[in-house]
Structure 1
Amino acid sequence: MDLVIRNAVLPDGRAGIDIGIDGGRIVALGQRLDVQAGREIDAGGDLVTPPFVDAHFHMDAVLSYGLPRVNASGTLLEGIALWGELKPALTQDALVERALRYCDWAVARGLLAIRTHVDVCDERLLAVEALLDVKRQVAPYLDLQLVAFPQDGLLRSPGAFDNLKRAMQMGVDVVGGIPHFERTMAQGAESVRLLCEYAAEQGLRVDMHCDETDDPLSRHIETLAYETQRLGLQGRVAGSHLTSMHSMDNYYVSKLLPLIAESGVAAIANPLINITLQGRHDTYPKRRGMTRVPELLAAGVDVAFGHDCVLDPWYGMGSGDMLEVAHMGLHVAQMTSLAAMAQCFQAVTATPARILGLDGYGVAPGCHADLVILDAGSAVEAIRLRAARRLVLRRGQVVAEAPPSASRLHLAGRPDGVDFRLQARGACAS
């Protein structure tokens, strides 16, 4: 074999596992594999996981914070206005440079698959061309999936539907939408119908910004679920944000959850952004903003977490760390049981990989040898510590590495240092 990783802990809790890799794929998995390899890596009882996956991002705006000015209010609407001001000044070279820089950050964080929405309301489709170029450049080390996003509204923005179709013909992967931003509820529902029919005709996936509002009467997820069933799109559709659900009454939600589950529509929450942009008109008590993640999971709906924004007109923070996203999601949704914390880890790994339809994802024979060795003894500990990525592998080759996290102490009578882990480094988690 090309490589064997020894003494790994897997996200499901199995410990003392060896992973045999050959030809860029996992070919063997088990305890104390009796095999020879060109290279051996001792995981030392640390967590080895498939790479992180970001199910919802905006790479056309990434790292543009402060252009043309800072979002002084920090609100969603000022961010949209800022993006409108910035678009005429965008250049393809600048878009590509910022996106490639962020992809470097992503690889260093063990984030090797990203679904990014790209604005198609600019007649030039400048951002589309730029991100298609980026997709080609990063393909050897990162899976980039593009969503055609009519950010100013499919029916509200002249030519947006034609632009979206042009973008798909250029090579964009997924049909996007934003029904709650149309002029009326009726036009929002009409945009969902039109986009889902187009996706069904073309055999494409759908991922819509849906009900990103505090208005409990914004119920486009209901239409999205209905159209998904009507058109046979089950398993190919996601509703992103769904924040109006946090304001809906429980009776309506009790009807809505089974409809979403039956339709096979996945939900993508964006904890860092939902908790900061929503509830802005509230005094106290303030709504949290994030959709009903535990209830969706209990109903059998696939739920993933996305980063959404990093240093752009909407969000002046972020660094591409999906463990930070999972950490926020865990807290906002009060998912603090052991099972729920494990679900938060799944929401930035296996679940978004399933939503994106990634081929060969996982830690099992036959899967791609895309792996991350984390400075943690379990998935829960990885979230707690936002653990350092000791090694990041793509197709069995190391593409990034970082030292374990530790601090030295200078205290009389105390240890020389700490590593913040519950168990000593190298001990397998129970």
Structure 2
Amino acid sequence: MQIINARLRHESELFTLDIEHGKFTKITSQTQFIQATEGQIDAQQNLICAPFVEPHIHLDAALTAGEPEWNQSGTLFEGIERWRQRKPMLDEADIRRRVMSTIELLVQNGVQAIRTHADTTDPSLIGIKTLCAIRDELKDKIDIQVVAFPQDGMLSYPNGLDLMEQALEIGADVVGGIPHFEYTRELGEESVKTLIALARKYDRLVDVHCDEIDDPNSRFLEFLAYEALQHDMGHKVTASHTTAMHSYDNAYCSKLFRLLKNSNIHFISCPTESIHLQGRFDSFPKRRGVTRVKELLEAGMNVCLGQDSIFDPWYSLGNGKLLRTLDFALHICQMMGYQDYRQALDLITNNSAKTLCIEDYGIEVGKTANCILLEGEDDYSVIRRQGEVLLSIRAGEIIMQRQASKLLTLDYLIN
């Protein structure tokens, strides 16, 4: 396979990419535009990029909004109540149908790796079992990590700790937690210590729903970062959401950032969901309720973006398009400078791959030929146009392809 007339990120010239036996074997610059011949893929000066990575989504809950009731207030906590109503309706067929539909939607939008949370506060653990089975079935087609996530609290839910261990024995890849939702601060801290101990015992990654609340006194992030630092495992630890950071004062954040930087943990923000769910106790002025994405990046920490939900009790919209999530983030986090645009795709590609500890990622000779083709010649034009993913290649095989959108010209409108 050979791709011609391709743009690469942060490069001005056109490139030809040769792929053999599922690997990038040669990447060469072109001196001019090449007319395509049979067997060549003409990128038509669009951007070849590493695949999108969805680092935070709840596939077990996807496509359940309104079942059995809608989240009328739109709040986080009513969403949890609606999910409690939905959980008794879960079975393998129900989960499999919705998960496969959602994965197909993500693949059509350039995603080739997913980290999904699955609720362990369900005695049947049907979500964990089904998602682990789907992960294994699709391992040659898409990379999936399953997080054992105690939605109602690992220590506050009856037998929650035992269910967590069962989930890890079944094969969950990542230990999850939700310390701010435990009944007390002491239980929240104990849950963080426990999940780190479990990750070490089972040699798993960690991804914690951490301080997903407006309360400026919710400070489990510092506890998580310290535990990661103490055990030298920050590269395997992720703090998701951390929306309370939006309510922390700057003096405290100045102290906190030193610990966060030294701990080497990763951060995931879900801006569309956070701006919708947070700030619900405010009148005006009203907080955005999104973590300090720009400030974390400027401090040299690894931050990426996820969709969190697609049509579920917490977020009744969503279309599988990470470019939409990125667009929201740039606006919400006031990252609208040209240099912000030039690095923006990192937030849904390279940074996410680093968070998931994905190896063999990127467009380089010798690496597995996983890539996507985006409408536009660079990060800025891709984001501004919000165009389609035109092509997705995995291990040298085309898994999705579509035509570029047609733009109406002035002559067409006049005539």
Q: TM-score range by the shorter chain?
A: over 0.9
Please state whether the residue corresponding to 1:56 is helix, strand or coil.
Answer: strand
Q: Report deviation, 1:222.
A: 0.1
Task: Tell me how far apart the structure 1 counterparts of residues 104 and 413 of structure 2 sit (CA, whole Å).
Answer: 31
Does 23-32 or 256-265 show the bigger shift?
23-32
Q: For 1:416, what is the secondary structure of its paired residue?
A: helix
Taking the TM superposition and a 5 Å limit, the aligned residue runs for 1:159-198 are: 159-198=159-198
Corresponding position: 1:415 with 2:402: no
Aligned equivalent of 2:6:
8
Q: Specify the SS of the correspondent of 1:15.
A: coil
Deviations 1:44-69 (A, max 9, x none): 11011011001111000011121111
Alignment partners' CA distance in 2, 1:309 and 1:283: 26
SS at match of 2:260: helix
| CA distance in structure 2 between the partners assigned to 1:5 and 1:188 by the alignment | 51
Q: What displacement does 1:344 show? A: 2.7
- Partner of 1:161: helix, strand, or coil? helix
Deviations 1:77-119 (A, max 9, x none): 1110000011011111010110001111111101111101100
Whole-angstrom CA distance in 2 between matches of 1:144 and 1:215: 33
Asked if 1:332 corresponds to 2:328, the answer is no
The whole-number CA distance in structure 2 between the counterparts of 1:361 and 1:180 is 34
Alignment of 1:227-266 (within 5 A): 227-266=227-266
- 1:106 match: secondary structure: helix
8 Å Cα contact 1:8/1:17 also seen in 2 = yes
- Give the drift of 1:38: 8.2
Read off the aligned partner of 2:9 and give its amino acid letter.
P
SS in 2 for 1:60: helix
For residues 237 and 342 of structure 1, what CA distance do their matches in structure 2 show? 27
Question: Aligned runs of 1:122-133 on 2, under 5 Å?
Answer: 122-133=122-133
Between the aligned partners of 1:129 and 1:105, the Cα distance in structure 2 is 22
Q: Which residue of 1 aligns with 2:22?
A: 24
Alignment match, 1:63: 63
Listed one character per residue, the Cα deviations across residues 96-146 of structure 1 (whole Å, up to 9, x for unaligned) are 110001111111101111101100111111101111122123222211111
User: Structure 1 stretch 326-335 or stretch 343-352: which is displaced more?
Assistant: 343-352
**Offset from partner CA, 1:336-371 (integer Å, 9 cap, x none):** 112222333111001000110112110111222111
Report the residue type matching 1:67 in the other structure. Answer: E
**Deviation per residue, 1:234-263 (Å, 9 max, x gap):** 211000000000001000000111111100
Residues 96 and 133 in structure 1, CA contact (< 8 A), matched pair in contact too: no
Deviating more after overlay: 186-195 vs 209-218: 186-195
1:407 to 1:341, Cα distance in 2 relative to 1, 3 A: closer
**Does the CA contact (< 8 Å) of 2:234 and 2:266 recur in 1?**
no
Measured on the aligned residues, the alpha-carbon RMSD in Å equals 1.7
Tell me if structure 2 keeps the 8 A contact 1:51–1:110. yes
Match of 1:425 in 2: none
Aligned equivalents of 1:384, 1:61: Cα separation in 2: 31
1:305 aligns with 2:305: yes
Shift in alpha-carbon separation, 1:42–1:79, aligned structure 2, 3 A: same
Residues in 2 aligned to 1:17 and 1:189: alpha-carbon distance in whole angstroms:
52
Whole-angstrom CA distance in 2 between matches of 1:377 and 1:14: 9
* Equivalent residues of 2:3, 2:40 under 8 A apart: yes
1:8 and 1:60 mapped to 2: Cα distance?
37
Inter-partner Cα distance in structure 1 for 2:140 and 2:40: 23
Verify the 8 A CA contact 2:344 2:379 in the aligned structure 1. Answer: no
Query: Where does residue 387 of structure 1 map in the other structure?
Result: 387
SS at match of 1:307: coil
3-state SS of 1:351 partner: helix
Residue in 1 that maps onto 2:347: 347
- Cα distance in 2 for partners of 1:264, 1:285 equals 34
Q: Could you tell me the TM-score, scaled by structure 1's length? A: 0.93
Q: 1:22 to 1:255 in 2, by over 3 A?
A: same
Partner residue in 2 for 1:424? none
Q: Structure 1, residues 174-215: CA drift from partner, whole Å, max 9, x if none?
A: 110000000111211111011112212222210000000000
CA 1:376–1:183: 2 relative to 1, 3 Å: same
Q: Match of 1:143, as an amino acid?
A: D
User: Does the 8 Å contact 2:272/2:307 carry over to 1?
Assistant: yes
Gaps of at least 5 residues in structure 2 are none
Aligned to 2:255, what secondary structure does the other structure show?
A: helix
Cα distance between partner residues in 1 of 2:51 and 2:223:
33
Is the Cα–Cα contact under 8 Å of residues 4 and 37 in structure 1 kept in the other structure? Answer: no
CA contact (8 A) 2:13 2:30 kept: no
Q: Distance in 2 between matches of 1:417 and 1:178?
A: 54
Relative to 1, partners in 2 of residues 1:398 and 1:54: Cα closer, same or farther, differing over 3 Å?
same
AA in 2 matched with 1:158: P
Answer whether contact 2:168 2:202 (CA < 8 A) is retained: no
TM norm structure 2: 0.96
- Partner letter of residue 28 of structure 2? G
Deviation at 1:8, TM superposition (A): 1.1
Aligned equivalents of 1:234 and 1:265: distance in 2? 4
Deviation at 1:407, TM superposition (A): 4.0
Task: Find the counterpart in structure 2 of residue 377 from structure 1.
Answer: 377
Equivalences, count? 411
Unaligned runs of 5+ in 1: 419-430
